[in-house]
Amino acid sequence: MLQPKKVKFRKVQKGRIKGVSQNASTIAFGSFGLKILEPKYLTSRQIEAARIAITRFMKREGQLWIRVFPDKPMTKKPAEVRMGKGKGNPEFWVAVAKPGRILFEIDGVDEATAREAFRLGSQKLPGLTRVVVRPDYTAD
C-alpha cells in the first residue's frame, strides 16, 4: 500500500474538499488519463486495486503513471466505544481528489485498450471518472 515514510503530525483535521483541482488537471506524462469528476477521498487500497486492474488488462504493455498519493491520515475510533475521550488512532491513508484531477495516465497502448483498462480501473474507485486524451494525440 502507498503511504508516507514519515509525517510531521500523526493526526490531521478532516477539512472539506472545496473547489476544482488546480494542479494535475492536465495530462503531463502519457497520452490518456483518468480524470475524477467528483470530490472524493481515495484510500491507498482503492488506488492499489485500480492500479492492479489497469496493469492486468494492459498485459505489461505500455506505461502507467499514478498522479495521486495518499498523504492524509484518517482516524477511527474502535467499535462500541463511548463518545469523547479524544480522537481515534490513525487507521488508513487517503488522497484528497478534487474534481478535475488526473488520477492515472497511460502511454504506449492504443486508445481502445486504454479506455477498457481505465473502465476496469474506475470500477475500483469511488465517484464518477472520465477518460481524457492528450490534445495532440495521433494514432500511429
Per-domain residue ranges for the chain? Answer: 32-76+89-133
pLDDT class of 54 with cuts at 50, 70, 90: very high
Amino acid of residue 137: Y
**What is the residue-averaged pLDDT of the chain?**
95
32-76+89-133 CATH fold: Aldehyde Oxidoreductase; domain 3 (3.90.1170)
The pLDDT value recorded for residue 140 is 65
Distance CA 44, CA 139 (A): 33
Angle between helices 44-58 and 111-122 (to 10 degrees): 150
- Looking at residue 78, the DSSP 8-state letter turns out to be P
What pLDDT digit, counting tens, does each position of 99-137 carry? Answer: 999 999 999 999 999 999 999 999 999 999 999 999 998
Taking residues 68-95, what's their average pLDDT?
96
pTM of the predicted protein model: 0.94
